[in-house]
Amino acid sequence: MMFKINALKKKLDSLCEQYDATYIYSDPLKFPRRYDDPLDQEIAGIIASSLAYGRVERIFASLEKVLGLMGKSPARYVTNFNPEREGPDFDGFVHRFNRGEDIACLVWYLKQILHRYGSIGRFFSGLLPDEDENIEGALNRFSASVLSLDSSPFYGGGELPPNAGVRYFFPSPEGGSACKRLNLYLRWMVRKDDGLDLGIWNFVPPSKLVVPLDTHIARLSQNLGLASRKSPGWKMALEVTENLKRLDPHDPLKYDFALCRLGILDLCPHKRDSVKCKECSISDFCML
């Protein structure tokens, strides 16, 4: 088994070298990469990761629209955001399950966080005790804390309605969700700047991150024997992460971007393909 792990690590390390920063054009990460200021990267990053679901082309179109409305500095836009004045900026916006009021409320939440803490990073840092094995508890606390902020300009007074679309941006592990988009955001913020991830949060060890489990990673993980579970929820995300730690205990998510390219670029078929599988560098380990 150890021989297989070592061999798989060698192949996946090679895959990371193949799908490097030159492939950022195919990923929502290219949007926060447009900014130099860490605070702009934080804000653009959480918006980009929040909308990172559905077809890639649609994700990019939605992010061009939202970030385009926010101008050269997303952080400045958020800081100066007035629900009555700028809220209508997002009228008519639709991204699958979400509408303009959801984006406007997300921006309103971010303004409240910046006002109280100065940055999303400082807010999150207070939610992750040193003794936590991974970011599960911090994610539970993060989502609960954000959703408890004032949402009255967009959803009326009192408690946030159960069907409010902004809830979709803040799932939690305790609800069983894989929290793909939040884990993606954390990967961008935490992993060292390698031309892909931004590495602006140095208070979270990369070893505590959990893989952003989407349909591509779930399927590839099953094919490679990194996941035995069939349901792509939080438990599968933990299982995949633990197996990736066997390849790199300090930085298990280093493989996420490269593996995602196989799915996003339609290089990994759902069933055996004589051409694509022959060209795949990790086909020797695939159980498809």
123 versus 231: the higher-pLDDT residue is 123
Average pLDDT over residues 94-119: 97
- Per-residue pLDDT reduced to its tens digit, 125-134: 999 998 999 9
214-196-93 Cα angle (round to 5): 55
Q: Are residues 149 and 244 in the same domain?
A: no
| 143 and 215 inside one domain | no
The predicted-structure confidence for 162-217, as pLDDT tens digits, reads as follows 999 999 999 999 999 999 999 999 999 999 999 999 999 999 999 999 999 998 89
Q: Express each pLDDT in 20-72 by its tens digit.
A: 999 999 999 999 999 999 999 999 999 999 999 999 999 999 999 999 999 99
Q: How far apart are CA 127 and CA 141, in angstroms?
A: 6
CATH code (residue 12): 1.10.1670.10
Question: Degrees (nearest 5) of the Cα angle 23, 27, 33?
Answer: 85
What is the sign of the dihedral through the CA atoms of 275, 222, 213 and 198?
negative
Q: According to the model, what pLDDT value does residue 1 have? A: 45
Q: CA geometry: angle at 75 spanning 183 and 61, to 5°?
A: 65
Instruction: Decide which of 286 and 180 is more confident.
Output: 180
Please give the Cα distance from 162 to 164 (Å, whole number).
6
**How would residue 273 be classed by pLDDT, with cut points 50, 70 and 90?**
low
Residues 229 and 148 in one domain: no
d(CA 245, CA 251) in angstroms, rounded, equals 7
Is it the case that residue 2 has pLDDT exceeding 50? no
The range of the structural domain enclosing residue 102 comes to 31-206
Q: Clarify whether residues 48 and 137 are in a common domain.
A: yes
Residue 196 tokens read as 């892909």
Question: Looking at the structure, do residues 92 and 196 belong to the same domain, yes or no?
Answer: yes
Where is the domain boundary, 175, 206, 237? 206
Query: Degrees (nearest 5) of the Cα angle 173, 178, 181?
Result: 105
Using CA atoms, how far residue 53 sits from 21, 38, 242, 280, in Å, is 21, 24, 24, 25
Q: Count the domains in the chain.
A: 2
Residues 262 and 275 in one domain: yes
CA distance 126 to 115: 16
Q: Tell whether 72 and 99 lie within a shared domain.
A: yes
Whether 171 and 196 share a structural domain: yes
pLDDT at 157 over 80: no
